[in-house]
A and B are shown apart, each in its own frame.
Chain A
Amino acid sequence: MFRNFPSVSALATVALMAACGTAFADQPYPWQIDLQPAASAVAEQVREFNYLISVIIVAISVFVLVLMAYIAWRFNAKRNPVPSKRAHNTVLEVLWTALPVLILVVIAVPSLKLLYVMDRNPAAEMTIKAVGHQWYWSYEYPDHDDFTFDSIMVPDDQLQPGQPRLLAVDNEVVLPIETDVRILVTSDDVIHSWAVPSFGIKTDAVPGRVNETWVRIRREGTYYGQCSELCGVNHGYMPIAVRAVSRQAFDEWTAAAKEKFARADGGGTRVAGRTATTTAR
Chain B
Amino acid sequence: MYIVLSIVSALIGGGMSWIIRLELAEPGIQFIQDPQLYNVMVTAHGLIMVFFVVMPGLIGGFGNWFVPLMIGAPDMAFPRMNNISFWLLAAALCLLVTAGLTGTGPGTGWTFYPPLSNSTFHSGPAVDFGILSLHLAGASSILGAINFITTILNMRAPGMTMHRMPLFVWSMLVTAFLLLLAVPVLAGALTMLLTDRNFGTTFFAPEGGGDPVLWQHLFWFFGHPEVYIMIIPAFGIISQVVSTFSKKPVFGYLGMAYAMVAIGFIGFVVWAHHMYTVGLDVNTRAYFVLATMIIAVPTGIKIFSWLATMWGGSIEFKTPMLFATGFIALFVVGGVTGVVLANAGLDVQLQDTYYVIAHFHYVLSVAAVFALTTGFYYWIGKMSGRQYPETLGKIHFWLTFVGVNVLFFPQHFLGVAGMPRRIPDYPDAFAGWNMISSIGALITALGTLLFLFIVWRTMAAGKAAEPNPWGVGATTLEWSVPSPAPFHTHEELPRVSAQPAE
Contact = CB atoms under 8 A, between A and B. Distances in A.
B348 A200 contact: yes
B431 to A, nearest CB: 7
B71 interface: no
Interface residues of B, number: 96
A60 interface: yes
Q: Which of A32, A118, A230, A235 has the most CB of B within 10 A?
A: A230
A160 interface: no
A28 B434 CA distance: 13
Given A49-B345, A191-B212, A202-B352, A211 B279 contact: yes
A33 B34 CA distance: 30
Contact of B277 (A32, A84, A202, A227): A202
A119 B345 CA distance: 9
Given A61-B333, A204-B278, A49 B346 contact: yes
Given A61-B336, A97-B297, A46 B213 contact: no
Contact of B39 (A34, A115, A235): A235
Contact of A34 (B313, B352, B416): B416
A61 to B, nearest CB: 6
Interface in A106-143: 107-108, 111-112, 114-116, 118-120, 134
A76 B430 contact: no
A71 B496 CA distance: 32
Interface residues on A, range: 35 or more
A71 B314 CA distance: 10
B339 interface: yes
A57 B211 contact: no
A76 B314 CA distance: 6
A63 to B, nearest CB: 9
Interface in A179-233: 189-191, 193, 195, 197, 200-204, 206-209, 211-212, 224-233
B329 interface: yes
B113 A115 contact: no
Contact of B339 (A31, A65, A96, A107): A107
Q: Is the interface of B mostly helix, strand, loop or mixed?
A: helix
Given A115-B286, A235-B39, A36 B427 contact: no
A30 interface: yes
B453 interface: no
Contact of A53 (B290, B343, B351): B343
Contact of A80 (B115, B206, B313): B313
Given A75-B312, A96-B301, A230-B109, A60 B336 contact: yes
B445 interface: no
Interface stretch (B89-97, B167-175, B246-254, B387-395): B246-254
Interface in B424-443: 424-433
A164 B305 CA distance: 50
B345 A207 contact: no
A190 B252 CA distance: 50
Interface in B344-372: 344-346, 348-349, 351-353
Contact of A87 (B253, B315, B317, B423): B253
Contacts of B206: 207-209
Given A111-B343, A235-B39, A189 B121 contact: yes
Contacts of B421: 230
Contacts of B491: none
Contact of B251 (A88, A100, A118, A193): A88
A255 interface: no
Given A32-B417, A230-B113, 20 more contacts: A33-B413, A33-B416, A36-B418, A45-B345, A53-B340, A60-B332, A60-B336, A68-B325, A77-B315, A104-B297, A111-B289, A111-B346, A114-B345, A115-B286, A189-B115, A197-B349, A203-B277, A203-B279, A233-B35, A237-B35
9 contacts: A33-B413, A36-B417, A53-B339, A60-B336, A71-B311, A84-B312, A93-B301, A226-B418, A226-B427
Interface of A: 27-36, 45-46, 49-50, 53-54, 57, 60-61, 64-65, 67-68, 71-72, 75-77, 80-89, 92-93, 96-97, 100-101, 104, 107-108, 111-112, 114-116, 118-120, 134, 164-167, 189-191, 193, 195, 197, 200-204, 206-209, 211-212, 224-237
